[in-house]
Amino acid sequence: MIDRRQWLQGGLAVAALAAAPPLRAQPATPRARLKLLVPANPGGGWDQTAKAVAATLQATKLVERIDIEHKPGKGGVPGLAHFVEQYAGDPDALMVGGLVMCGAIALHRPAVDLAQVQPVAKLTTDYLVIAVPRESPIANGKALAEAMRQRPQSLSFGGGSAGGVDHMLMGMVGRAVGADLTALKYVASSAGTDFAAALKKGALSAGIAGYSELKDGLADGSLRALAVSAPRGLFGVPSLREQGINTELGNWRGLFAPPGLNPTAIASWTTLLQQMAGSNDWKAQLDRHNWRAAPLYGAPLRRFVDDEQMSARVVIHLLKIQS
């Protein structure tokens, strides 16, 4: 779970959502087609999620044909607008989204936001890793905190879209360690592959991304992990909290339906995705990408998304993040 509510001490009190029991699963009716919109470039977390969902739905014979479309830019904001305009009323269309989009909406304040779409399923939580190039003199989280306090203007952080979860974590860490937030530089990227390549070359001081997006570089030694944003260490990497940095953050991802669908159409997708999430094929995808299962559906999911959007607006404001 995201720990922003505990982190925003003294200025914000957002009630934690009660854990909602999952909807009762029923046998799903297989579908002929799914048009799956990824509001980002190939290579990042949303693209990985889309491909994992597609592979599982076809392996379990729940969907016969799946077409994936990419519409990148600004943390998914243009893709969201495209989804609403082009797919309104289409019962065969879904869009990948999540916390990154909440942050981008809070930053860019577009005319179209998540109120215009219908959350169908929250699927995963992915904790973030802060990594540096192999040759970096920054050895661990404590050294990073010291550098952020003493020479913030000399550091450049890379990650996903401006205002997204990676950008938020940089600001949250900076605030936790007492850094000058206005001096920290963030370099946004819309493709995980581009970002990882720049980090390996030493073009950035540090990078922030989900473990699945960095694991190749960590495995071959071109990158070194400093900390993970989980409550406790994961992947052999100590958490921020374990190194004296009092913050944590989890990046959730899910699927949304376009506007104009009736409750029966939404319920059909919910039932199908519940069956997918309970399959061994999906559990294999979770293991492969080091994701944590985080299922949520129905009215509790709608409330969760609305709460996350409100929380993201406050975080973006307090961290002075600008586009």
Contact 315/108 with Cβ under 8 angstroms? no
Domain locations in the chain as residue ranges: 27-125+251-318, 127-243
**Taking residues 304-323, what's their average pLDDT?**
89
User: Given this chain, do its domains 27-125+251-318 and 127-243 carry the same CATH topology?
Assistant: yes
pLDDT tens profile 136-164: 999 999 999 999 999 999 999 999 888 98
Query: Which pLDDT score, from 0 to 100, does residue 92 have?
Result: 98
Per the document, the length of the chain is 323
Domain 27-125+251-318, CATH: 3.40.190.150
* Mean local confidence (pLDDT), 279-307: 96
Query: What topology does CATH give the domain 127-243?
Result: D-Maltodextrin-Binding Protein; domain 2 (3.40.190)
Contact assessment for residue 157 and residue 208, using Cβ atoms and an 8 Å cutoff: yes
Where residue 97 falls among pLDDT bands split at 50, 70, 90? very high
Of the candidates 254, 239, 259, the residue with the CA atom closest to the CA atom of residue 91: 259
The token duo for 95 is 């869009």
Distance CA 202, CA 222 (A): 10
pLDDT score of 16 more than 80: no
pTM equals 0.84
Distance CA 227, CA 19 (A): 28
